[in-house]
Structure 1
Amino acid sequence: MIQKTTLFLALFALTLSWAQIAPLEPVKAHYKTLQKLDAKPNPERAKLDKISFPASEYSSGSLIYTMAAPAYLSAAQVETLKKSVQYPANSSDQTRAELDFLLDWQKKRSQAQVDRSVNFLAPIGYWPHIAVLKNHERYQSNMEDLFYEGRAVMGESCNPENYPHTAKLLQGVTKDMRIMEFTVKYHLRRARPYHLEPYLQPLARMRTPSFASGHTLWAYIQAFTWSELIPNKRAEFLELAYEVGESREIMGIHYPSDEEAARVLAHRMLVAMWDNPVFREDLAKAKAEWK
């Protein structure tokens, strides 16, 4: 009886959170098609399931984020969210189809797509440790990246100086996103696509596990947060996030399931943050800047 009551209260609390954060859109495009394939191990390709991201390629800097204290999420929420996503088995029919999808991108990607993915989108991303010291050589560009989506949709006047409460909210949300990104990555240690498919020629070699996509997690949690502040621009923010995810596939460094999981996880994070009164207060102050 106690267990049933606890479950009911948890579901009731989640329902209240969903009532406050705009709901997640249904899966679309190739993600929807690929998710219909079998994600379970395929005995015919069983040897692939022994492959994980090599420990020799770990980035020590990223591991530090797994030890940081979150801004809005609780430690218990981080643990729950960490276990809420899973990738299809390496040997599965779904993963095989995703690898074929990436091979197809490799054949058809244009130089313009490559340039935008590698030279423009790949370097973007706010990093909390850089924001600690204002005299850091990358401090200004880091803060500009924090407002990338807002500036892209709302114009050059959208910046931390003009919207300080929005900056504070985005900094807290993105700090938690970085913690979640590396917590999930090192929990599951998914091999990169090029570890499984020898014919893939990635446009970069990454030093962290594949799942979920950190770039995409950043892009979507930003898009969902901006959408709470400026709801009538939601479609534009989500289109920017989709482009970021697609760019990682164009580069051959992420499976489509890495991108879709990041989208879902980003939304779950924002829903979980609603439980924190500090988040609700910071969100309200940021919203007031956009009235």
Structure 2
Amino acid sequence: MPVLARSLLFCLTLSGAGVALAAPAAAPYLSANQFQLADYLPPPPAIDSPLQQNDLKAVLAAQAARSSAQVSQVQQDDEWEDSVFHFARESLGGGFSVERLPLTQAFFRRAQEDLVQFLMPAKHSYGRPRPYEASSQVKPVLPPPEGDSYPSGHSMNGYLNATLLSMALPEKRSELFNRAQLNADSRVIAGVHFPSDLEGGKISAAVLVARLLDDPKAAADFESVKKEIRGALASAN
């Protein structure tokens, strides 16, 4: 699939309708046939299984408990463009910004292209309906995303961000992984994912990080990113 088409599909799939494509297309680091993400994942719960029923109960419980503040946060976390900066703003402060970190922006855009090129075939291979498709009791608070439910792309992206940023800033590891968990949980609160989708996304992120850092070009770029982040945060303090 051409890079521009992949970028368009990614934004429509993970951010919902109405999001402008402001950024130019980026090339992934890895070849599309390098591995199959589904090879590393357990299957989602079978449609009539007790595990599936527990997954649905968890979505309905989150729906019953969600507050207006949670809905607002869910909608903010649905944005995708340069999401690593939104993701880490509270943990890393004002020095972690697009303006200060061009190498970081470019690296994470390319990593997101890798994410989508391995995520979408895995979603298709499992074909899991989203919660609101599985039950009319589920009332999502986001525009229905394109693509199937398992694994969660937002969860995968959040844990990808947390893992890579934690390698650059080990002292921030706990904060960043807590943020990734909140980002993932927002998808259940929104009614667009099951809890087991989030686990699939978490595993998927670990697989992709390992594959990316085994690639010489990605690994070299990431070393530059780590230095850039350290320098930007130091100069901002």
Same fold (TM over 0.5): yes
Q: Which structure 2 residue ranges, 5 or more long, are not aligned?
A: 1-7, 13-24, 232-237
Matched, 1:242 2:170: no
**In structure 1, how many angstroms separate the alpha carbons of the residues matched to 2:111 and 2:218?**
9
- Per the alignment, residue 108 of structure 2 pairs with 170
Once the two structures are superposed, the pairs formed by residues 54-69 of structure 1 within 5 Å of their partners are 61-62=8-9
Which of 72, 80, 94 is the aligned partner of 1:125? 80
- Whose radius of gyration is greater, 1 or 2? 1
Which of 256, 260, 268 is the aligned partner of 2:195? 256
Which of 48, 54, 72 is the aligned partner of 1:97? 54
- Per the alignment, residue 82 of structure 1 pairs with 38
**In structure 2, how many angstroms separate the alpha carbons of the residues matched to 1:187 and 1:64?**
20
Contact 2:32 2:118 in 1 (8 A): no
Shift of 1:69: 9.4
Deviations 1:112-159 (A, max 9, x none): 2122213x222x213xxxxxxxxxxxxxxxx4x342233322112212
Q: Structure 1-normalised TM-score?
A: 0.66
Aligned AA for 2:190? M
Which of 51, 57, 66 is the aligned partner of 1:109? 66
SS in 2 for 1:112: helix
Contact 2:26 2:113 in 1 (8 A): no
Aligned AA for 1:83? D
**In structure 1, how many angstroms separate the alpha carbons of the residues matched to 2:111 and 2:152?**
17
**In structure 1, how many angstroms separate the alpha carbons of the residues matched to 2:113 and 2:106?**
11
Contact 1:146 1:171 in 2 (8 A): no
SS in 2 for 1:76: coil
Shift of 1:71: 2.2
**In structure 1, how many angstroms separate the alpha carbons of the residues matched to 2:203 and 2:148?**
18
Shift of 1:187: 2.5
SS in 1 for 2:35: helix
Q: Structure 2-normalised TM-score?
A: 0.80
- Per the alignment, residue 54 of structure 1 pairs with none
Aligned AA for 1:184? A
Number of matched pairs: 210
Which of 114, 128, 132 is the aligned partner of 1:190? 128
Identity percentage of aligned residues: 28
**In structure 1, how many angstroms separate the alpha carbons of the residues matched to 2:121 and 2:217?**
23
- Per the alignment, residue 206 of structure 1 pairs with 145
Shift of 1:181: 2.5
Q: Which runs of 4+ in 1 moved over 6 A?
A: none
- Per the alignment, residue 156 of structure 1 pairs with 94
Shift of 1:186: 2.0
